[in-house]
Amino acid sequence: MRKIFVSFLGTNDYLPCTYQINGYEPVQGVRFVQEACIARWCGPWLADDRIYICVTDESYEKNWLDNGHKDRDGNIQTRQGLQTRLKALNLNVPFEVVKIPAGKSEDQIWQIFEQVFSLLNEKDNLYLDITHAFRSLPMLAMVILSYAKAMRSITVRAISYGAMEALGNLEKIRRMDIEDREVPVFDLLPFDRLQDWVIALDRFTATGDAAMIEHLADMDMRPLRKATKGQNTDAFTIKKLGQHLNAFSVGLATCRGLEISANVAAVKNSLQQIEDLNILKPLKPLLHKLETSLAAFPGEEVADGLAAVRWCLDHQLYQQGYTILQETLTTFVVNKVLGLDGRNQGDRDLVNQCVTIIKKNIPESEWLPPARDEKLKTRKMISWLKPQQDLVDNLRNLSDTRNDLNHAGHNDKPSKPKTLQKNLLGFVEEMGRICARHGNLSSQ
C-alpha cells in the first residue's frame, strides 16, 4: 500500500521557525511546515509513494516558486519556494503540485473535493497536513477523509497542524530570534479516530454489528501494546471490550443461544472496567449508551433469550429473532416441566413433538420416538402444556414461521416481510407474558 502526503499551501510570507513534531527531532530554520513534516515522515518513502502539494494560482506564485513576495515598497524578497526546498531534501519519493481553485463558490468547493479525492488509491496510507488549509478546507478535508475511508478503504496515519499562533501574534513572532520560534505541530489524528469510534458505536447501536468497534479497539491500542510489550492494562481492557462486543454481535447473528448470557456478562464487565480508564474520555458518554441498550439482559437464560429476541427485532435480525425465540421457549418448557437445563437434544425434540400430539390429538399408541421411548416425560409434558393453549398455539405458529424463513419463502403461502416483522413483536410480547405467568421474568 502506498504512503501519501497531502498538504495545502497558503499565500503568506512565512517566517523561518523550528517545528516540533511529537516523536521526532525538531526541524530548525524552515519557513514551510510542509518541509518539516516531509523531512520527518517521508524520508524513508519510496518511488511508489507520493507527496501532493495543493496550491491555488496565488499560493503557487508566492510560495511554490522562488521569490514570490514583495516588501511594502514593491521590492522582490529573496525567498526559496517550497519546490526548491523539497528538491533540496533529495527524496526518493516523487512530489507533485496540484492546482486547485480558491474555493470562492460552492462549485469550486466541490471541485476541490473531487481533485483531492482523486489523488487517493485503494488502501493508501494517508498523511495529511491542514496547517494552511484556508476557509472551508479543514472541514472539507475531514469530509474527504470519511468519504475516502468508505470508498477507498484508506488508513489515516497522521493529521498535522502547525500552531504558529501558539507563539503569539505575528508582530511578536517577527521580533523573536529564529531559535526561539518553536512551533508545535499538533497531531489531530485522535479527533479523526474519535469520529471513527462515533461511527462504529452508532453502527452497533443501529444494526448490532460490532466488527468496526473490535477493529478500532485493536488498531488504536496496538501501538500502546507494542510500546509496553503488552503490559498496558488500559490497552488490554479496550481490546477486550471490542472482542466481547463483537462476540455478542456475532453470537446473535449466528443464533448462538447458549452463549447469550455469557457474552452479555463479558461486555458489561468490560464496560465497568472502561469507566475507570483515563484514555478515550470523550467516548465514555457513548459507551454509556451501550450499557443502556444491554440493561434489558438480566443474566438469566430465558430472560436473556427474550431480551435477545427484542434486540434482533430492533436491529432487523428477524430470522435470528424467530429462531432464538423458539429455542428459548423450548428451554423454558424443559426447565418448567422436567426441571432440567434443556441441554439434552432429546428433551428439546420432545417439546415440539408434544405440541404436535396435542394439536393433532394423536393417541399414545401412535406416538413416534422420542415420545414413544419417553412416555413418562411425554405424559408429564402434555399434561402441563394442554391447559395452556396460548403457549401451544404460539409454539406451533413459531415452528411454521421458522420453516417459512429457513426455506426462504419457497412454499405455498409465504409470509410477507412486513407480516414477519410485525408478528415477531407480537410473539415476543406474548411469550414474555406467558413466562411471567409462571414466575419467570417478573420484570417483563
Which one-letter amino acid corresponds to residue 221?
M
Distance from C-alpha of 360 to C-alpha of 3, rounded to nearest angstrom: 70
- 3-state SS string for 366-414: HCCCCCCCCHHHHHHHHHHHCCCHHHHHHHHHHHHHHHHHHCCCCCCCC
Distance from C-alpha of 105 to C-alpha of 362, rounded to nearest angstrom: 79
Gyration radius from the chain CA atoms: 32
Which residues lie below 8 Å from residue 267, measured CB to CB, with a gap of 6+? 241, 244, 245, 248, 290, 294
Which run of H or of E encompasses 21? strand 17-21
Distance from C-alpha of 41 to C-alpha of 45, rounded to nearest angstrom: 8
At residue 227, the pLDDT reads: 67
Which run of H or of E encompasses 435? helix 417-437
Among residues 30, 337, 77, the alpha carbon closest in space to that of 179 is found at 30
Distance from C-alpha of 387 to C-alpha of 173, rounded to nearest angstrom: 88
Task: Give the three-class secondary structure for 55.
Answer: strand
At residue 440, the pLDDT reads: 58
Which one-letter amino acid corresponds to residue 36?
A
Which domains can be identified in the chain, with CATH numbers? 3-187 (3.40.50.10640), 195-294 (no CATH), 301-437 (no CATH)
The one-character DSSP state at 416 is P
At residue 442, the pLDDT reads: 41
At residue 285, the pLDDT reads: 79
**The three grid cell numbers given for residue 242, joined into one nine-digit string:** 471490542
Is residue 370 reached through a cis peptide bond, with omega within 30 degrees of 0 on the bond before it?
yes
Predicted model pTM: 0.82
**The three grid cell numbers given for residue 85, joined into one nine-digit string:** 526546498
Low-confidence ranges of the chain (pLDDT < 70): 135, 224, 227, 230-231, 278-280, 440-444
Are 330 and 351 within 8 A, CB to CB?
yes
Distance from C-alpha of 396 to C-alpha of 427, rounded to nearest angstrom: 12
Are 9 and 64 within 8 A, CB to CB?
yes
- 3-state SS string for 108-148: HHHHHHHHHHHCCCCCCEEEEECCCCCCCHHHHHHHHHHHH
43 half-sphere exposure, CB direction, 13 A CA radius: 7
Cell 468496526 belongs to 212
